[in-house]
Amino acid sequence: MAPDAPVKTSSPGALPNPVTRLVRWDVIVTALLIVVFAGGALGTPDFATSDNLSFALDDLSEIALIALPMTLLVVAAEVDLSVASVLGLSSALLGALWDAGWAIETIIPLLIIVGAIAGLVNGLLVTRLGLPSLAVTIGTLTLYRGLAYVVLGTKAVAQFPQNYADLATKTVPGTPIPYPFALFIVAAIVTAVVLHATGAGRAIFATGAQEEAAFFAGIRVKRIKLLLFVVSGVVSAFAGAIYTLRYGSARADNGLGLELAVIAAVLLGGVDFDGGRGTLGGVVAGVLLIGLLRNLLMLRDVATEIQSIVTGLLLIVSVLTPRIIAGVREARRHPRGSISASSQ
Amino acid sequence: MLKRPMAAVALVAALAVGAAACGGTTKKSSSGDNGAAATSGAKANPNAPIKKGLKVAFLPKQVNNPYETIVDKAGIAGAKEYGGTAKEVGPSDASASSQISYLNTLIQQQQDAILIAANDPNAVCGPLKQAMSRKIAVVTYDSDAAKECRDVFINQASSEEIGRSEIKVISDLIGGKGKIAILSATANATNQNTWIGFMKDELKKPEYAGIQLVKVAYGDDDDQKSFQQTQGLLQAYPDLKGIIAPTTVGIAAAARYVSASKYKGKVQVSGLGTPNQMRKFVKDGTVSKFELWNPGDLGYLASYAAAALASGQITGAQGEKFKAGRLGERTIGADGEVILGPPTVFDKNNIDNFHF
């Protein structure tokens, strides 16, 4: 392939700008989160109780956990749609092996290996064959879900040990924070440090912004992507164990459609679907906003359809707003807007 | 960074499995740790008046399902009769876990009674137990949860009666001979699976030796999926004689497909459906007979059972009686079950007498 560097530096977003700094989407989402929380606490008596919040957070556990590797992938301009199917496969395996008399302590590491393999398959198809991740993971979405049904069929396995079920549902003593969410907080801090304060993080951003440029700058683009897919698989498989223990029911159809909730949270958090831009703080705010908003709407007896409409609109606004901001900024810089208008 | 990250991942994981395989929590070692049932020393007072202003919530398998809507509307009307307020909330998809969020919300709202048609008998157990420990009456209807997670189950008809009569109906329709298939709802729906169990058992009888059940397909109570599953069944088994769809969504989708295809008249569709939904297929000859209990009565009965529980008239123990408005007095049977009554068979002669 002919190197067409120097790369087009005029692409919007490549240059920092004081205006966008002020109205960054992740800041808006965080503000929105505070508004929703305050509004809920004032207007809905059952909302800001420690009981309700701990439940709302527990309900978010898997989405929140999977959103972390998903953020890294989307920043690297890839996506993994198979996460919910890996979760389902992991749940099905957990059920089948538990039923067969295996120990939980053996099953969970095995699930992690299976998750790693699932992620590796995604990663290899994307990096070695150069296929788009959207297409690859739509395929594996179906494939892994199919495997889940092969493993457990249509039955449901229940009756998991109480101590593990407690780990998935009880809160850290003295706080309203459920254990899975505490795990998410730790994982989020680690992910934030990796993404925003290390060379690996800068490499992920560079890969997503301009893959070829990153490659010529000596970044091992493919290796990074491969690793991110593996991490995504591992986290999804682990989330499958949490999901199963939390609901007390292992089934092949567990987590059906969860990938959309994860991607929604990532996009809502202001991560650019084209890659190269986003912050982990924004994603954490996005995850919390989706979860608390849903909880609030349910407490207020808002119909399911309206809930979907609210979430959908929020998502469209979140994808649209940064573009509009970028557009306005671009228009200001080039009042006659001749050349760069084509890039949108 | 590691040179070979994949190898490292594999190594760590392998070590973890090795370490863990030496011992740990298995199904055998942990059996019996799921606490005893919540039926405690609470005493029933059959003469207690129904409390005024009871807050009652219906949580169907999914909202906007025509059948569940009828059930819940009648239940809400029942609550009005005894001076309570009732509402219907629920997920838009019939998956196991989506009911959990709603259950937890209802607990936070401190409802007096929760009525649920469980999508998975165990997945809803944790929150239901929590509700019961907070003195919220729990009634299952249509599809039961595990016994220890509810006070009373309102069964639409004896499951055995439904399962066995479905086979009788289809056998009549296909002349006692040929291949049949079942188009069910979700694979884990408690009620569907119990009926299918009795259907399979009924098929073992010598008089049904000529009937062969070739497949149980799942349409997930989704109209489009049920339609496609019907299409798939007829393509896979061109000599299929009958389809039993023990679900209102499934039977309507199956009938719609058959009525517009070359299989009309060759393949008999039966199962459980509502008269309004099936009227046109009965009139055009696609469907000759199908069954259902009165779903309105089911919701109404469940609503009264919830009120009786929440008012302390009953606790859910066998033999207790309660008054269910226009349906008269009902008695709780074994395992906290109350049976609505035998199903009604609808055909072209009687269908116009029913409007639901």
Looking at mean pLDDT, say which of A85-94, B64-73, B91-100 comes out highest.
A85-94
Is B24 within 8 Å of A158 when comparing Cβ atoms? no
Average pLDDT of A236-250?
Answer: 95
The string over B236-265, giving b where at least 16 C-beta atoms fall within 10 Å of a residue's C-beta and e elsewhere, is ebeebbbbbbbbbbbbbbbbbbbbeeebbe
Contact: A154, B218; criterion CB under 8 Å: yes
- Return the residue of A nearest to B6 by Cα: A227
Pairing of strands B321-323, B329-331: antiparallel
Checking ipTM against 0.85, whether it exceeds it is no
Q: Pick from A181-195, A313-327, B178-192 the range whose average pLDDT is largest.
A: A181-195
Q: Nearest CA of chain A to the CA of B83: how many Å? A: 21
Nearest to B123 among A55, A247, A308 (CB): A247
> pLDDT at position B13, please?
55
> Does B180 have pLDDT greater than 50?
yes
In Å, how far from its chain's centre is CA A151? 26
The model's confidence at residue B6, banded by pLDDT at 50, 70 and 90, is low
Rounded to an integer, the average pLDDT of B249-262 is 95
Judged against a pLDDT cut of 70, whether residue A6 lies above it is answered with: no
Per residue in A181-239, pLDDT (tens digit) is 999 999 999 999 999 999 999 999 999 999 999 999 999 999 999 999 999 999 999 99
3-state secondary structure of B212: strand
Size of interface A-B (CB pairs under 8 A): 145
The CA distance from B253 to B276, in Å, is: 14
Q: Which two tokens stand for residue B332?
A: 């709780």
Q: How far is the alpha carbon of A83 from chain B, nearest alpha carbon, in Å? A: 17
pLDDT at B8: 61
pLDDT at residue B329 is higher than 70: yes
- Tell me the mean pLDDT in the region A69-76: 97
Q: Do B105 and A295 touch (CB under 8 A)?
A: yes
Taking CB atoms and an 8 Å limit, are A299 and B188 in contact across chains? Answer: no
Q: What is the pLDDT, as a whole number, of residue A4?
A: 41
Q: Which of A310, A340, A312 is nearest to A327 (CA)?
A: A340
**Would the CB atoms of B30 and A162 count as touching at under 8 Å?**
yes
CB < 8 Å from A in window 57-96 of B:
63-64, 87, 89-93, 95-96
Question: Among the listed ranges A19-33, A36-50, A237-251, B153-167, which one has the minimum average pLDDT value?
Answer: A19-33
Is the predicted pLDDT of residue A118 greater than 50, yes or no? Answer: yes
Q: Does the distance separating the beta carbons of A156 and B122 come in below 8 Å?
A: yes
Question: Residue B96: is its pLDDT beyond 80?
Answer: no
What confidence tens digit (pLDDT) does each residue in B261-294 have? Answer: 999 999 999 999 999 999 999 999 999 999 998 8
Please give, rounded to a whole number of angstroms, the shortest distance from the CA of A204 to a CA of chain B: 14
pLDDT surpasses 50 at A2: no
pLDDT digits (tens, 9 = 90+) for A264-311: 999 999 999 999 999 999 999 999 999 999 999 999 999 888 988 998
What b-and-e string marks burial along A61-94, b requiring 16 or more CB atoms within 10 Å of the CB? bbbbbbbbbbbbbbbbbbbbbbbbbbbbbbbbbb
The residue of A155, A247, A258 whose CB has the most chain B CBs within 10 angstroms, and thus the best one to mutate to test that interface, is A247
- Pick B9's closest partner by Cβ from A105, A116, A254: A116
Q: What is the pTM of this model?
A: 0.80
Q: Which of B20, B102, B105 sits opposite A105 (nearest CB)?
A: B20
Query: Is B97 part of the contact surface with chain A (CB cutoff 8 Å)?
Result: yes
Confidence label for A332 from pLDDT (cuts 50, 70 and 90): confident
d(CA A13, CA A181): 33
| Mean pLDDT for chain A overall | 89
pLDDT range class, residue A325, cuts 50, 70, 90: confident
A51 vs B5, B24, B108: nearest CB: B108
Min Cα–Cα distance to chain B from A214, Å:
17
> pLDDT at position B92, please?
87
Kind plus residue range of the DSSP H or E element containing A185: helix A179-197
Separation between Cα atoms, residue B90 and residue B271, nearest integer Å: 26
Q: Over range A27-31, report the average pLDDT.
A: 91
Residue among A46, A53, A55, A163 with most chain B CBs within 10 A, to mutate = A55
Question: Please, what are the domains in chain B?
Answer: 55-157+294-341 (3.40.50.2300), 159-292 (3.40.50.2300)
A7: pLDDT strictly greater than 50: no
**Rounded average pLDDT over A112-121:** 98
pLDDT at B37 over 80: no
> How confident is the model over B285-324, as pLDDT tens digits?
999 999 998 889 999 999 999 999 999 999 999 999 999 9
